[in-house]
Structure 1
Amino acid sequence: MFPLEEKSTNNTCSGYWDQHPHTILYNILSCRNSGYPKHLNSTVHSCHCEQKRAVYLKDPHATCQVASSVLVKTICFMRSLPSFSQLPSGDQLSLLRQCWVPLFVLGLAQEKMVFEVTDMPNSSILRQILLGSGLTEKEAKQPTFAGVHNLRTCLHHVWNLDLSPKEYAYLKGTMLFNPAAEGLSASLFVEGLQQEAQRALQEVIHHLNPKDNGRFSHILQAASAIQTVSHSLVTELFFKPVIGNTNMLHLLTEMLFLK
């Protein structure tokens, strides 16, 4: 059976901070003001123009602080799994590149995190529509209302399932050990780990909800929807206000392979 190796989801990986007290993420996490928005703007805009409008966090300081904490817990989850740590470093990096965003989104769901966005100042919807591919690289990467709405929809989907801590842990395992990740040298072994995680998830579901025959498929559907959340949306919305031009993958790699 796939071992339940996840450490407590309520505790940040203290060893990381003890060894690297001056990292960018640590500096923001150490701020005393840890509050974050309580209200979620769930208004749905059907207009294509509205969907494409650029947005940013209404309270980036507080929201990025919480998001950074979730990211650290996500990386600590990966590091805590012996079955992951025993993989070749190249495979670990491939899985990190492929899976950190879905795992992070699951972390947001588990932390019940909500956030507000507002229109990007000086952002012209007409400019985005008329220029299209003519937008600068920075403008093209800006989070849009459509992307944020998709993220919120995924979070609500997971919340409606009311997952237990064990269900979260094994679902993370099924998403982390993705044999379809590019560049894997041990894809068959990774596929076996994913199957073990799925079997363990089924057993937990049967134990906790023996009469809910459709729960497993509903959970996998939620996981599939999470895969549609783009890496650029998560990076630009939650981490660019903190890390600036620092390469996100380089930062994640440093955190993962920290000795």
Structure 2
Amino acid sequence: MFPLEEIANRTCSGYRTQHPHAILYNILSGREIGYLDNKLKGNATAHNCHCGQRRTVCLKDPKATGQVASGVLEKTVCFVRSLPSFGQLPSQDQSLLLIHCWVPLLVLGLAQEKIVFEVTDVPNSSILRQILLGPGLTGKEADQPTLAGVHKLRSCLHQLWNLDLSPKEYAYLKGAWLFNPAVQGLSASLSVEGLQQEAQRALREAVHLLHPEDPARLSHVLLAASSIQAVSHGMVTELFFKPVIGNTNMLHLLTDMLFVQ
């Protein structure tokens, strides 16, 4: 149903609403490693300041970086569509699965392609306003990229880079994220659960074959992957794709990409 080589040998391998029963949540809890970009952290005082962490940021080169991120997203959707087991699921299930996991898959793609990016302060961003509003921020304002949110994303990327994952490890991690039977509204949840179990098994076997001398390798891989749950869907959309798609609905765009002929 989910052969070991199926998702590793795709020719187009690319690369919060989260769910408590997903494999990557239950095996290990995500804890971030403090990898902070020198261009952002400044001095130690600024780094430890909660006000600084709330600073609203944007891409330093939004057009170029947005295009790169869009390319990774296209490869991600191409990878998903190339899986026969995914294509055999009902169309509604396909859409639900992609909508709920596109950010983890994108982060894995950014890591796999070694994508780096720079951010800068948003002009006229008021730290005082953010502090005063705090919990009263609207949903749209809460999704605005902050320094803290960027640190979380970069932490995930650094953890994955430090492991130097193989294409097979990336592919099976994507499968484990994609086939999440806990997504609400699935009509074929049992099939999805079976596919997730196959992805888990394939990942374990690949890690063992590639790193037989490192019994802790799988735990490290899962820990790094589980940290992706801390990355906000809204933040990723606003940071990477808002400069490219404007007011286009991201979820509608994903659905169109998935089912385009």
With the length of structure 2 as denominator, give the TM-score of the two structures.
0.84
Q: How far is the alpha carbon of 1:127 from its aligned partner? A: 0.5
Q: 1:103 to 1:40 in 2, by over 3 A?
A: farther
Question: Residues of 1 paired with 2:144 and 2:4: CA distance?
Answer: 39
Contact 1:51 1:145 in 2 (8 A): yes
Contact 1:175 1:223 in 2 (8 A): no
Question: Residues of 2 paired with 1:10 and 1:196: CA distance?
Answer: 18
Structure 2 counterpart of 1:143: 145
Structure 1 counterpart of 2:39: 41
Structure 2 counterpart of 1:163: 165
Q: 1:172 to 1:247 in 2, by over 3 A?
A: same
* Percent sequence identity over aligned pairs: 70
**2:156 matched to 1:154?**
yes
**CA RMSD for the aligned pairs?**
1.9
Q: 2:103 aligned to 91, 101, 116, which one? A: 101
* Aligned residue type for 2:39: N
Contact 2:13 2:79 in 1 (8 A): no
Q: How far is the alpha carbon of 1:137 from its aligned partner? A: 4.9
Deviates more, 1:217-226 or 1:67-76: 217-226
Contact 2:57 2:146 in 1 (8 A): yes
Partner deviation per Cα, 1:159-179 (whole Å, 9 max, x = no partner) = 011001111111111111111
Structure 1 counterpart of 2:67: 65
Question: Residues of 2 paired with 1:141 and 1:131: CA distance?
Answer: 14
Question: Residues of 1 paired with 2:145 and 2:102: CA distance?
Answer: 18
Written as runs of structure 1 = structure 2, the 5 A alignment for 1:111-150 is 111-135=113-137, 137-150=139-152
Question: Residues of 2 paired with 1:236 and 1:143: CA distance?
Answer: 7
**2:251 matched to 1:253?**
no
Contact 2:7 2:172 in 1 (8 A): no
Contact 1:4 1:169 in 2 (8 A): no
Question: Residues of 2 paired with 1:166 and 1:222: CA distance?
Answer: 16
Q: 1:201 aligned to 203, 216, 220, which one? A: 203
Written as runs of structure 1 = structure 2, the 5 A alignment for 1:158-237 is 158-237=160-239
Question: Residues of 1 paired with 2:97 and 2:112: CA distance?
Answer: 21
Q: How far is the alpha carbon of 1:185 from its aligned partner? A: 1.5
Name the SS for the 2:120 alignment partner.
Answer: strand
Question: Residues of 2 paired with 1:71 and 1:107: CA distance?
Answer: 8
Which stretches in structure 1 are left out of the alignment for 5+ residues?
13-38
**Runs of 4+, deviation exceeding 6 Å:** none
Question: Residues of 2 paired with 1:98 and 1:231: CA distance?
Answer: 9
* Aligned residue type for 1:104: L
Deviates more, 1:224-233 or 1:101-110: 224-233
* Aligned residue type for 1:73: K
Deviates more, 1:136-145 or 1:203-212: 136-145
Partner deviation per Cα, 1:57-90 (whole Å, 9 max, x = no partner) = 0011111111010000000011000100110111
Ranked by relative contact order (alpha carbons within 8 Å, sequence separation 6 or more), the top structure is: 2
Structure 1 counterpart of 2:112: 110
Q: How far is the alpha carbon of 1:5 from its aligned partner? A: 3.1
Structure 2 counterpart of 1:24: none
Contact 1:40 1:114 in 2 (8 A): no
